[in-house]
Structure 1
Amino acid sequence: MRAAKGEGSMSKTDKGWRGYVTVNGKRKYTRYHKTKALCAQEKRELLNRRDDGRLVAGKVPTVAQWMNHWSENVTKARPTTAALNAWVITNKIIPELGSIKLSALTAERLEQWVVDLNVKPASQRRYLAPLKTALNVAAQRGHIPFNPALRVELEPQGKPNTSAFSREDRDAILAAAVGRNRARWHLSVRLGLRPAEALGLTWPDFDAKTGVLTIRHQLLRATGQGLYLQDAAKTAAGEREITLPKSLAALLVEHRREQMRLMAQVGDEWVGWSYQGQPVALMFPQSNGKPVDAKMDTKLWHALLASAGLEDARRYKSRHTAATHLISDSNGDVAVTAKILGHADASFTYRTYVHPLAEREQALMDAMDLPAAPYVAPYDAEPSRVRQNAEPSDR
């Protein structure tokens, strides 16, 4: 019995059963199958995808062909993400997976690739990320029926080993913060600005009259592009206004005066920085006006901890410290803390950035040892007398 027009066809060959459907005048073939039933099943899947507009005629691209097309013509990632994606595609994906056709790429093959990378769980996710996004587009356009990267089982990532400085250690850091970066360290340790946000601050971002600081940029570096200003953070909540405490606003005002005096002293040695053809009045540049990049910022942070007599710690611990103490000082107001930190989700703030402090835990334990107040019975010791003397309206 012949198949209905437009339903495609199947036939038996030396390699097994194979079928096809017609898409825009071109044939799209199934794989070879041992049985007619299995072949019919795949042909039906092709027909469904064709009718839904998810089946593309012509040859299926290889992983290398598709990843190159996606990175050059489809993705709109920010410069830092685009540069990292390009490195992963060139050095990790194409060498191992590039020759495989998209239709032959399986979750099991991707899982083996991830294992062969021999990297930590966080890096596994970072290397798989461009594949996930690119294969999503491939599935939407009909090159593959589904995205195999979404079915990959990865090692548990676990909770990052992060903590916060105690109040005593935090105050030691602030006491050790002197010189041109003093105000920047206060913004980092007290308000939790991201390092790139603090480095990207410009003087138009600060209103000395109102004490309002607007966070609208991050100073980042991308391969092949150098330093650049990226608008806000990843979410809309990243661009925000913070009304500074008077002490911190005064620090910025004094920092501005010191910067003006420095510019007058160094004269022509102040080269400044221009971005996209426009001069940028950075709030916390180097002594010659050039930007402070992430590497230099990290070195300065380590030097600050050493001068405070503290052990070394990762740069982002300043942000965790600020979040923890903001929550504590605001009597647990997570929403306000999230707003200051630039988070859209307050629960994320609490889960990720708030850490138990040893001194507060000890205070709670000490409170449990305090003697209890004497108990006062709410009623007379003789309940019957209470009932007898009760007013009629109480009954």
Structure 2
Amino acid sequence: MTTPRDTPASRRTRANGDGTIYQRKDGRWEAAAYVLAAGGTRKRIRVYGTTRKEAADKLTEAVAVSNRGLPTRISDTTVAQYLTYWLDTIAVHRLRATTHARYTAVARLHLLPALGPKKLHRLTVADVRGWLDQLRAACQCCTHGTDAARRADPKHPNQRPHCCAIGQCCSKRLSPRTLQYVHAVLNSALQQAVRDERVERNVARHVQVGQIRHRRFEPLTAAEARQFLQAARTDRLHALFELALRTGLRRGELLGLTWHDLDTENRTLNIRRTLQNAPNGGTALYPTKTRAAERRIALPAACLTALNQHRQTQDTERQTAGDRWEEQNLVFTTPSGNPLDPGGVTQHFRTLLTHAGLRRTRFHDLRHTCATLLLEQGVELITIKELLGHAHIAVTAEVYAHVRLRLQHQAIEALGRALNDGDDPADPPTATVVR
């Protein structure tokens, strides 16, 4: 008569409901049991291990989860399949068209090639961390074959294959900001998978991408700003540049303004929408990105004057265009009434900088110039935050921290001059840290 102790480990009988464990021909151990699945059904799952204990521990964990009434994630869905489903059926209804297009591009270029074939419920923290490490170190030209596919063009004889195509890698890597954005897309998709009960946890949340530094910008000085406005005074879009520099409006917010948004009596302007490039070409109007960005701002007298002059110019253009005029009630349009192209406005801005003899800068730096000059004039941070339409004051404080630090230096130096009045210059007061 044999006892359980005499029975080989691979043939021992387990209690009812505990499942079975046996050793496979390849030497691995396999454990199987029925557990609770999505929809209230029960399904037989199989787990594997290099030892009997490893397989038993995995099975015990799955059974314990099932006994708590939680469905076990046993779908064969791959990461690629779920990402496609999420983008096409969920994210498309929650994101703006431009944001959805960027998410789709991120998935196609960075997520699907590396993580797409993996089973969704088997994706681990180590998988995500290893993928990010590879992404951080990889040359994008080599990864996507950008240079290998480039061929000499008769119209552009200087455009020839280089980088990995000729064995000289240019090491063009993703920036920390782009890495953070790619990680955010995966994190959003996996968080929805948790809500859908496809996975038990979002493994991307447990991977730190690292802190990124805000992009350094060089706003115009007060003298440069005056020089720019003087050069733009006779320009057709003079009112647009006045608004950008004096109110800090974003490019899309400026191009999305309608004449209904202007209240000349109360000298205010309502920001309700933004004009952006549409994913399928052309431009389109969208709501502001956040609730804070939808705001009403006070207008300086110079902006009101410029807008009144611009309106008169637009009325003349409407009469000249006649039937060719496309009435959309936009403040800033082409001579035929169509929306302005955002990229064309930026190029026009750079041309004005050249004519004014100023250094090259971005259109968005007009917004930074407005905020910087306001800070230097002693305007409170909360007022600047409301003017710029930031969702949180912490964003304003972080972006313009360098300006506040410069103002602190000026304040401390002013205090030092006051305390040194009548004292021995060789014995300056000792600086202390105030908390």
Q: Decide: shared fold, TM above 0.5.
A: yes
The change in CA–CA distance for 1:301 and 1:357 in structure 2 (over 3 A counts) is farther
1:22 pairs with one of 21, 29, 35: 35
TM-score, normalising length: structure 2: 0.76
Matches of 1:198 and 1:48 in 2, distance apart? 58
Render the CA deviation track for 1:345-385: whole Å, top value 9, x for unaligned.
1121121146439997996697455784458xxxxxxxxxx
1:65 matched to 2:81? The reply is yes
Counterpart AA for 1:151:
H
The change in CA–CA distance for 1:236 and 1:256 in structure 2 (over 3 A counts) is same
1:11 matched to 2:66? The reply is no
Render the CA deviation track for 1:179-210: whole Å, top value 9, x for unaligned.
22111111111211011101111111101221
SS at match of 2:31: strand
SS at match of 1:229: strand
SS at match of 2:49: coil
SS at match of 2:217: coil
Q: How many residue pairs are counted as aligned between the two chains?
A: 364
Render the CA deviation track for 1:317-345: whole Å, top value 9, x for unaligned.
1111111112233x241111100100121
Quick one: percent identity of the two aligned structures? 27
1:348 matched to 2:432? The reply is no
Q: For the Cα contact (< 8 Å) 1:79–1:222, is it kept in 2?
A: yes
2:255 pairs with one of 185, 189, 199: 199
Pairwise CA RMSD of aligned residues? 2.8
2:330 pairs with one of 282, 290, 300: 282
Aligned to 1:144: 199
Aligned to 1:132: 187
Render the CA deviation track for 1:240-264: whole Å, top value 9, x for unaligned.
0012122222221221122112211
Shift of 1:170: 1.4
2:55 pairs with one of 39, 52, 55: 39
Aligned to 1:339: 386
The change in CA–CA distance for 1:327 and 1:371 in structure 2 (over 3 A counts) is closer
TM-score, normalising length: structure 1: 0.83
Render the CA deviation track for 1:272-301: whole Å, top value 9, x for unaligned.
4xxxxxxx2111112221111221121012
Q: For the Cα contact (< 8 Å) 1:30–1:42, is it kept in 2?
A: no
Q: For the Cα contact (< 8 Å) 1:92–1:127, is it kept in 2?
A: yes
Counterpart AA for 2:380:
D
Aligned to 1:212: 268
SS at match of 2:35: strand
SS at match of 1:237: coil
Matches of 1:361 and 1:144 in 2, distance apart? 50
Counterpart AA for 2:304:
A
Aligned to 1:276: none
Between 1 and 2, higher relative CO (CA 8 Å, sep ≥ 6) is seen in 1
Matches of 2:106 and 2:294 in 1, distance apart? 29
Counterpart AA for 1:34:
T
Q: Give 5+ residue unaligned stretches, structure 2.
A: 1-12, 139-172, 424-435
Matches of 1:362 and 1:142 in 2, distance apart? 54
Render the CA deviation track for 1:31-64: whole Å, top value 9, x for unaligned.
3023444334333443454456653565331011
Q: Give 5+ residue unaligned stretches, structure 1.
A: 273-279, 376-395
Q: How does 1:143-182 map to 2 (within 5 A)?
A: 143-154=198-209, 156-178=211-233, 179-182=235-238
Shift of 1:227: 1.5
1:314 matched to 2:362? The reply is yes
Aligned to 2:176: 121
2:322 pairs with one of 267, 270, 277: 267
SS at match of 2:329: coil
SS at match of 1:32: strand
Counterpart AA for 1:125:
Q
Shift of 1:307: 2.2
Matches of 2:407 and 2:400 in 1, distance apart? 16
